[in-house]
Structure 1
């Protein structure tokens, strides 16, 4: 007897959450001239601000949910293995092109910058894992710098630079990011490693 009311309540809860995120994404799409806050989202969604806060108690939780929504919309994935880096970069840049208006809005709006930082955290962790073999034997600070460059290239901001400053087409931007990552990966593997001195194990006879 209680199953159906609970199911209905769950559907209503999910629908309200999706409505909040949809309106929030629309506000992101308005670019730097748009407003973005719990209050503005509530007003645009036709609900009380307390409702928005109930689903997303603070800005951080809302931005994290929006990052997941944006990642789904653009089919953004980060590589988990070295072999995935270049093919996924091509795919991601193609999705940036398909979702150009939304991606550009996220790049230019203040709230969008916060949303992208959610992706930065995930991206740094993913490239640290996928580049583990290529980075082996390097100093920790050097690893951090290399991962930072990979994450910066594998990004909507780099796609925008290629399109706007480099005047490349969407297809040319895909080719350029693949070339850049392949070149960087090769250069990373060519960095000299400092060989660790091997410890000499003395035998019992040598001590005599």
Structure 2
């Protein structure tokens, strides 16, 4: 399901609730926000919030998927060799909105946020098939898996928390790693993109 399809399935009320909760997460975190405060911010009744999201976990998971689709969207890459730049931009976006990045990372690492765990997997695979058709399926899967791992809020959080890296250093490291993955196949690319 695409982001547009997923958003079309949400009612205006649900979108208002998720947007309100995302705003509150950025202001005060996830723990200190009651359903009453979310309802007030969204302009709906508290029961309405419960009707759509019966538990705090339901609300958090839906909000995480919504955040990923709305706050951290980006245009599709035209070439697999543009992915490092897209990853750099994603890391910068996470750094601009760290509280939201933490929510997306925490829920996606548990594999339960309702969003596609590797949203660009199919696009990366299609680009590789088109631009580097000589890759075997196993090699293509390995490259896609590595790029998907780098292209995630979880990677940003791990570098921030575990390594204490700054936003700029995270973006540089993720971009460098993506380039290192793609450099060995550049000479195998077909067409004018081959370098």
TM-score scaled by length of structure 1: 0.61
In the TM superposition, what whole-angstrom CA distance separates every residue of 1:28-73 from its partner, at most 9, and x where no partner exists? 7645x579xxxx868942343598449xxxx6xx84x853443322
Equivalent in 120, 134, 137 of residue 137 of structure 1: 134
May I ask how many residue pairs the two structures share in their alignment? 166
Report whether the alignment pairs 1:70 with 2:50.
Answer: no
Structure 1 residues 43, 184: CA separation in 2 closer, same or farther (over 3 Å shift)?
same
Q: Structure 2 CA distance, aligned partners of 1:134 and 1:166?
A: 35
Question: What is the 5 A alignment of 1:2-151?
Answer: 14=12, 16-25=13-22, 30-31=29-30, 44-45=38-39, 46-48=45-47, 52-53=51-52, 63=62, 67-109=65-107, 113-115=111-113, 118-133=115-130, 135-151=132-148
Match of 2:173 in 1: 176
TM-score scaled by length of structure 2: 0.65
Q: 1:147: how far off?
A: 0.7
Structure 2, unmatched stretches of 5+, are 1-10, 40-44, 189-195
Note the aligned Cα RMSD (angstroms): 3.7
Structure 1 residues 52, 22: CA separation in 2 closer, same or farther (over 3 Å shift)?
farther
Structure 1 residues 111, 142: CA separation in 2 closer, same or farther (over 3 Å shift)?
closer
Structure 1, unmatched stretches of 5+, are 1-12, 192-208
Higher-Rg structure is: 1
Q: 1:171: how far off?
A: 0.8
